[in-house]
Chain A
Amino acid sequence: MNPPILHTKALTKRYGHHTALTDVTLTLPTGSIVGLVGPNGAGKSTLLALTSGLIRPTSGTIEVLGSPPAADAAQLARVGFVAQDTPVYAALTVDEHLRMGRRLNPHWDARLAADRIRQIGLDPTKKAGRLSGGQKAQLALTIAAAKRPELLIFDEPVAALDPLARRAFLQNLMEFVADLDVSVILSSHLLSDVERVCDHLIVLAESRVQIAGDTETLIAGHHRLVGPRGDLPDLPAGVEVISADHTERQTTLIVRNTGPDTPRALRETPNLDLEDMVLTYLHRAGRITGETTTPVEATR
């Protein structure tokens, strides 16, 4: 059994008085494609930076692929990180980016990089500064993947892209995953994209993990119960109320079943879709801390 791609215990990061990440305990199995969602300022970039070893935790422990992040050159080669806005060097050509990648990375796959650049139709002689947003993202993805890492990390890879470029990026990324057997963690505001490509989900808000797990299991465990006000059935053990909304006549409960089987009381109730489920947790996080949270943008 391979070690988990990410294993943290009570992981916390503070900047002075500001706590960016609080008490995060997570285990993500190898081979996953993990979607990290949450409002701006929730701690997504902090968690990704800790995972890639760019910053160190204030307290708690973190292991990436079974080792401390960025412990040595070997560990650095196992993880590919693409920061927000998919940075490339504007003055260098596409080909110069690939040559630099070859010099800097011990396991550089030159053929893979060249093939992919040709397939996505990038002109190797063109300066990166003159590429479109979508092409820059594709170049950054190609360089990260040609490192042949075991884990690829993306901070908001598609946020700035138009729908066509976004889909092209995800197609390319999924093709890499199918080809290279690489695990992925990506943060995104776009829940429809997360639903499409991710098999694991982490919802971060107010610096804490609100919920995390296998996407299909999470969706299967969440139900919406609607009934006359005050007349809802007693909930069986293992069923937790996530939110309760009351109108004059009606009560709507969002519940989570944590047991292995769906209790009889929940069998006929519809499951929430991913978007509603995520929003429920974000609203709850906002209410608990008493601050108004900007909800994740559902579509753009």
Chain B
Amino acid sequence: MIDFHLDPKSGVAPYMQLVQQVQQALRLGMLKVGDQLPTVKHVVAKIAINPNTVLKAYRELERQGLVAPKPGRGTFITATLADDSLSAHQALRTELEHWIAKAEAAGLDHDAIQALITTTLRKTHQGKP
């Protein structure tokens, strides 16, 4: 079982903070397939947030295929982020290294590259329904 926390100064919507904390725990192996997430009641009683925020976070995790609700029992982890994508990491990293080399050759510095990646990521996500 993991505990959630809320950082009011992060600028990230509260439900998204919960989503990110579960994703992080999955990447780090703190949560494994079959583990149960805290119940909504447990989370709201612990960190004093709106139950709808917790439900929204769990729905988003379900949409991402990371958890599944079992009626009357709770919400359980159904996939791990670490193992699933790990095999693809190496090939993607090599491609990215090539791309970064090209960007540097074109005169972009570290900050410019970072900004380009961040904005492109955001735009790509905005384009999706």
Interface residues of chain A, those whose CB is within 8 Å of chain B, are 31, 33, 167, 170-175, 177-179, 192, 195-199, 216, 219, 262, 267-268, 270-271, 273
Chain A residues with CB under 8 Å of B13's CB are 216, 219
A171 with B14: CB separation less than 8 A = no
Count of A-B contacts with CB under 8 A?
Answer: 56
Asked whether A171 and B52 contact (CB < 8 A) given A196-B8, A262-B126, A267-B126, the answer is no
Q: Considering the complex, give the chain A residue whose CB is closest to the CB of B51.
A: A178
Give B59 Cβ to nearest chain A Cβ, in Å: 14
A171 with B50: CB separation less than 8 A = no
B44, B45, B123: the one contacting A267 at CB < 8 Å is: B123
B11 with A178: CB separation less than 8 A = no
Chain B residues with CB under 8 Å of A178's CB are 40-41, 44-45, 51
9 contacts between A and B (CB under 8 A): A167-B48, A171-B44, A174-B48, A177-B50, A196-B49, A198-B50, A219-B13, A262-B126, A267-B126
Give B12 Cβ to nearest chain A Cβ, in Å: 10
B46 close to A (CB within 8 Å): yes
A179, A197, A219, A262: the one contacting B49 at CB < 8 Å is: A197
Asked whether A196 and B6 contact (CB < 8 A) given A177-B51, A178-B41, the answer is yes
Interface residues of chain B, those whose CB is within 8 Å of chain A, are 6, 8, 11, 13-14, 40-41, 44-53, 119, 122-123, 126
CA distance A171 to B43 in the complex (A): 9
A192, A199, A219, A273: the one contacting B50 at CB < 8 Å is: A199
B14 with A196: CB separation less than 8 A = yes
Closest 5 CB pairs of A and B: A174-B44, A170-B48, A178-B51, A171-B48, A175-B45
Chain B residues with CB under 8 Å of A216's CB are 13
CA distance A192 to B45 in the complex (A): 17
Chain A residues with CB under 8 Å of B6's CB are 196
A179 with B41: CB separation less than 8 A = yes
Give A21 Cβ to nearest chain B Cβ, in Å: 26
Q: Which of A173, A199, A267 has the most CB of B within 10 A?
A: A199
Chain B residues with CB under 8 Å of A174's CB are 44-45, 48-51
B123 with A175: CB separation less than 8 A = no
B14, B41, B52, B126: the one contacting A175 at CB < 8 Å is: B41
Chain B residues with CB under 8 Å of A219's CB are 13
CA distance A268 to B52 in the complex (A): 28
Chain A residues with CB under 8 Å of B122's CB are 267
A172, A195, A199: the one contacting B52 at CB < 8 Å is: A199
CA distance A197 to B14 in the complex (A): 10
A171, A196, A262: the one contacting B46 at CB < 8 Å is: A171
CA distance A178 to B50 in the complex (A): 8
Give B60 Cβ to nearest chain A Cβ, in Å: 13
**With contacts A170-B48, A199-B52, A267-B123 known, what are 4 further pairs, Cβ within 8 A?**
A196-B14, A198-B50, A199-B50, A270-B11
Chain B residues with CB under 8 Å of A173's CB are 48
CA distance A197 to B6 in the complex (A): 11
Q: Which of B8, B47, B48, B119 has the most CB of A within 10 A?
A: B48
Q: Which of B13, B41, B45, B126 has the most CB of A within 10 A?
A: B45
Q: Considering the complex, give the chain B residue whose CB is closest to the CB of A32.
A: B52
A273 with B45: CB separation less than 8 A = no
Chain A residues with CB under 8 Å of B44's CB are 171, 174-175, 177-178
Q: Considering the complex, give the chain B residue whose CB is closest to the CB of A170.
A: B48
Q: Considering the complex, give the chain B residue whose CB is closest to the CB of A184.
A: B50
Chain B residues with CB under 8 Å of A268's CB are 119
Q: Considering the complex, give the chain B residue whose CB is closest to the CB of A196.
A: B49
Chain B residues with CB under 8 Å of A177's CB are 44, 50-51
CA distance A268 to B115 in the complex (A): 11
